A and B are shown apart, each in its own frame.
Chain A
Amino acid sequence: MISAPRSRVGGGGLSGLLLVALPVLLLLWLVLWPVLQAFVGTLYFPGKGFSAASYVYFFSDAYSLRNLWLTLWVTALTSILRVAAAMPIALYLRFRTGSIAALVQSLALFPLFVPSVLVAYAFIRVLGPNGIVDTLLVAVHLPKLPSPYLQPAGPIIGLVWEGLPLTLLLLLSGLGRVSTASVEAARDLGAGGVTIFTRIILPRIQSSIIVALAFNVLGLFSAFTLPYLLGPASPEMMGPYMQRTFSDNADPLNATTQAVITFAFCAAFGLIYVRAIAKGRKGLR
């Protein structure tokens, strides 16, 4: 640790390996090894040899592909909505002190403490048919709204609500690296709000945005409770679909195949983050 900053890039091979050793060993032992076993189990069958039949089935099955496609677009839309909702709040919180800011932050972070099952129940009670919104509308003699419950919009609303705090925290922590002085300096030079945001703020928080997106993709690909409780029966998101294949259809082979495919999509996105980090390392040196 002490010698680390001095060693610069190119050195520190051994100390680097020592520092990462514990978490990496835990990972190898309790995650990577089981993942590898599961992966091999979808391709190699003792006594029968290799077969990629379950993968061929997945990619030729219109129903599975539709579920994958739904997962992709729900993930994209939800991630964008989360960042869009969290960014203004994060900017406000970064440059503001005082009791109102403290309240705004506490409120925006509150969904972090609400388990998914409860989000679903609260959602049904509020936006569901004859929920509190309908009740209030009826009370003032307005027509009821069409409920998003069991509609494609249902899980998206729930997921954005649930995921807001994580996105906000990551953006906020990234904004911590934007120095007030640099913003003020740019201001003095006559830069407008948009210029400051794109030229000064955005480059500094780029890695935080990518981390936020990466975590969103990971979380949404395995989202289970909200899509299942709030969404339509079909198409299904990959989370409920895999779970149903695994336990209701008692079909571990196809379920694991779906898991590997899901994993591949997440890994592709993880790679983007890793590259961004590697680029950042060079750029900042």
Chain B
Amino acid sequence: MTDIARLPPAGALSDLRTRVRRREPVDWTGIAFLTGLAIVILLPLIVTAVWAFAEVWRFPAIVPQRMGLGYWQETLTRNDVWQALWLSLSITTTVTVISAAICFPAAYAFARLDFPGRNVLFLAFLSVQAFPKFGLIVATATIFLTLHLVGTFWGVVLIQLVGTLLYMIWIPVSAFQGVDRRLEEAARDVGAGPMRVFWSITLPQALPTLAAALLITFVSTFYETDAAWLIGLPNVRTMPMVMISFINNALEVQYGAVLFVFLWVPSFVLMLAARRVMGADAFAKGLGG
């Protein structure tokens, strides 16, 4: 840990200093990170993207021997791809909103209030992820079958909602935990009501972490398939279900590559939005300076 720690803070601090000095012509640290990440993160993605346009690409050619849009046409003219994308977005949004509504207050309670069984209940949320799904299939299926939720939109929403509980409780707890109590007390001392304290002190400080939890939940719900297969089939087919059935054991990697490149656009928009909430600007705002 210390080895890793040695360099970066120095870099971060030199950044700080330059910020104090107001102007810095070149962000060398940033460029170094950018170059490293470009090789590590972008190279595999670019290779995948090229595959989406390749019809034949064999070693040792650097560029595909034959390129074309054939796979794009075949994939995107399918009705079910568009239906699945729309369905996935509505399921994922519904799950994330409901999850935030029930989990954030609970996380607040876990972080700040004392009630019987708090630690045990808190620990219990771990079982959402720590117990492998196959062991629960029969029991879960029985519950959903008796409620007639198999193959329905709300059935998938419910099962995926359960899958989000861990992220949406554990991560926000660390957020509410980390809020500086002295600021809250100071605000109360000058006469702010509890609601006011929550909205103008607690929430802004917790916001970056809450946003991280929301982003992780949204993306992991979007790409969740295990529970969706079990409860969704035969009527509900989400985007990743379509995607994985294209990719898994397919001879042609192109179908998967096309769908993947196709999802880049919404992903990138989401990411830029994330920077808004998670960026240094937001931190500064949250801390009032």
Contacts and interface: CB of A to CB of B under 8 A. Distances in A.
Interface residues of A, number: 134
A12 B114 CA distance: 6
B177 interface: yes
Contacts of A184: 16, 20
A139 B16 contact: no
A7 B113 contact: yes
Nearest to B61: A135
Interface string B5-27: 11111111101110110000001
B278 interface: yes
A93 B34 CA distance: 12
Contacts of A280: 177
Contact of B205 (A114, A177, A197, A215): A177
Contacts of A101: 27, 30, 279-280
A11 B12 contact: no
Nearest to B11: A92
B174 A207 contact: yes
Contacts of B279: 93, 97, 101-102, 105
Contact of B134 (A117, A207, A246): A246
Nearest to B282: A176
A233 interface: no
B8 A91 contact: yes
A21 B109 CA distance: 10
Interface stretch (B67-75, B83-91, B119-127): B119-127
A217 B123 CA distance: 15
Contacts of A88: 4, 7-8, 11, 33
27 contacts: A1-B105, A4-B194, A13-B114, A15-B109, A23-B103, A24-B124, A30-B143, A91-B11, A92-B30, A95-B19, A96-B30, A100-B27, A104-B34, A105-B278, A122-B44, A122-B47, A125-B47, A134-B60, A135-B60, A170-B212, A173-B208, A194-B9, A196-B9, A266-B130, A270-B130, A277-B174, A281-B177
Given A214-B170, A247-B134, 11 more contacts: A3-B194, A4-B108, A4-B113, A20-B121, A88-B33, A98-B27, A112-B215, A118-B256, A176-B278, A176-B283, A252-B135
Interface of A: 1-7, 9-17, 19-24, 26-27, 29-35, 37-38, 83-84, 87-89, 91-98, 100-115, 117-119, 121-123, 125-126, 130, 132, 134-136, 138-139, 161, 166, 169-170, 172-177, 179-181, 183-184, 187, 192-194, 196-198, 201-202, 204, 207-208, 211, 214-215, 218-219, 221-222, 239, 242-243, 246-247, 252, 255-256, 259, 262-263, 266-267, 270-271, 273-274, 277-278, 280-281, 284-285
Report the 5 A-B pairs with minimum CB-CB distance, sorted nearest first. A16-B115, A193-B10, A34-B139, A266-B130, A16-B113
